[in-house]
């Protein structure tokens, strides 16, 4: 029976299965970040990063390259790798921005930026990497999370696996530097990080004064996971002058009891547009001021993916979040009595 002929019940079941699978896969990917760790067309003061920023011939080096990954494993290359596989979206984006787009021969299933990678082979995810397909591509190096156990099989076959973690901004900066060194263009990493810094600073300058200090709950995967203060998302929130309801000691992406959020009484809730439409049905959540007053930042999948990827578009992610804060402030201004405007 074709998809067009499915009964309403079976269609609903298939839709629910897709949503649950995507949520499960997203949580696995963020677990990888934690253990290792249609976007808006115009983002004020933050243009998308491009390879032009990184690929400067003057940086290019030749000869042996030695790097140490986030497991402490030393990797020696006779020359910069020419065939690269990436197994996280953030690593795909990092390689591309650092000038290695033409060297990518395969990516994980979630990598979807930039458009130029659309035709590359999809090689599975953190826990279900397509080992045979990766091996058939004969990569010089595979960039992966330290949390991906599937990579051990490739290592056993003799492939070079550079493992990287992405919990914090410091991790992101180190990843940029390490991948740039691997590519033989070491100065490109510093340039990419400097751009991210400028973009986050520009975004912070646009935060409406009344939003400074507001307490944020950033929901991961439809809950009950959250972006903690010690995560790269939490660090961006802090750089924008906001507070996080999740205490640092709970870790970067802790699993929360929904009652924790109710007790914390966040001023603003950030998450997917789909999940935020259902917040009022969660026990006790309808009484939260953020829900009653619609102080919600709900994002479509491409936007939300951008916000939760610790890659070279972190500055663009900060600008996207500030766009929502500006909209919330303007909405409150319109609702306020004219005497207090």
- Average the pLDDT over each of 23-32, 137-146, 184-193, 243-252 and give the range with the smallest value: 23-32
Query: Residue 160 has what pLDDT?
Result: 98
For residue 85, give the nearest of 172, 23, 148, 27 by alpha carbon. Answer: 148
pLDDT tens profile 134-174: 999 999 999 999 988 889 999 999 999 999 999 999 999 99
Instruction: Kindly indicate the confidence band of residue 213, based on its pLDDT and cuts at 50, 70 and 90.
Output: very high
Query: Residue 335 has what pLDDT?
Result: 86
Q: Which helix (H) or strand (E) holds 317?
A: helix 314-335
Of the CATH numbers 3.30.710.10, 3.40.50.1980, 3.40.50.300, 3.60.20.10, which one belongs to the domain with range 52-196? 3.40.50.1980
For residue 308, give the nearest of 322, 293, 318 by alpha carbon. Answer: 318
Q: Which residues contact 102 (CB under 8 A, 6 or more apart)?
A: none
Q: Per-residue b/e over 88-125, b at no fewer than 16 CB within 10 Å?
A: bbbbbbbbbbbbbbebbbbbbbbbebbeebeebeebbb
Average pLDDT, the chain: 86
Cβ(68)–Cβ(75) under 8 Å? yes
Instruction: Kindly indicate the confidence band of residue 247, based on its pLDDT and cuts at 50, 70 and 90.
Output: very high
Residue 184 pLDDT greater than 80, yes or no: yes
Query: Residue 30 has what pLDDT?
Result: 60
pLDDT tens profile 268-293: 999 999 999 899 999 999 999 999 99
Residue 61 pLDDT greater than 60, yes or no: no
Q: Encoding tokens for residue 193?
A: 């990080």
Protein fold of 208-340: Rossmann fold (3.40.50)
CA–CA separation, 134 vs 132, rounded Å? 5
- Residue ranges, comma separated, of all CATH 3.40.50.1980 domains in the chain are 52-196, 208-340
């Amino acid at each position: 029976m074709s998809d067009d002929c499915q009964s309403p019940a079976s269609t609903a079941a298939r839709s629910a299965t897709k949503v649950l699978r995507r949520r499960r896969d997203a949580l696995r990917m963020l677990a990888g970040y934690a253990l290792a760790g249609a976007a808006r067309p115009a983002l004020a003061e933050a243009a998308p990063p491009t390879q032009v920023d990184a690929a400067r011939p003057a940086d290019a080096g030749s000869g042996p390259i030695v790097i140490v990954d986030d497991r402490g494993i030393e990797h020696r290359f006779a020359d910069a790798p020419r065939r690269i596989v990436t197994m996280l979206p953030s690593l795909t984006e990092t390689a591309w921005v650092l000038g290695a787009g033409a060297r990518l021969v395969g990516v994980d299933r979630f990598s979807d930026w930039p458009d130029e990678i659309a035709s590359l082979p999809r090689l599975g995810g953190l826990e279900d990497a397509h080992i045979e397909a990766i091996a058939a591509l004969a990569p010089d190096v595979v960039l992966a999370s330290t949390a991906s156990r599937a990579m051990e099989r490739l290592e056993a076959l003799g492939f070079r696996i550079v493992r990287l973690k992405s919990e914090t901004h410091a991790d992101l900066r180190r990843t940029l530097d390490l991948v740039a060194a691997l590519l033989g263009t070491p100065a490109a990493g510093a340039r990419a990080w400097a751009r991210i810094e400028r973009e986050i600073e520009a975004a912070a300058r646009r935060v409406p004064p009344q939003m400074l200090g507001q307490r944020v709950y950033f929901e991961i995967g439809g809950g009950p996971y959250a972006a903690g203060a010690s995560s790269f998302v939490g660090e961006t929130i802090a750089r924008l002058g906001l507070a996080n309801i999740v205490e640092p000691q709970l870790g970067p992406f802790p699993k929360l009891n929904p009652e924790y959020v109710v007790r914390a009484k966040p001023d603003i809730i950030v998450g997917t547009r789909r999940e935020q439409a259902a917040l009022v049905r969660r026990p006790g959540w309808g009484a939260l001021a953020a829900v009653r007053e619609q102080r919600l930042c709900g994002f479509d999948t491409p936007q939300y993916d951008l916000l939760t990827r610790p890659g070279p578009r972190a500055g663009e992610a900060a600008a996207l979040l500030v766009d929502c804060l500006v909209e919330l402030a303007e909405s409150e201004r319109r609702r306020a009595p004219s005497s207090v405007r």
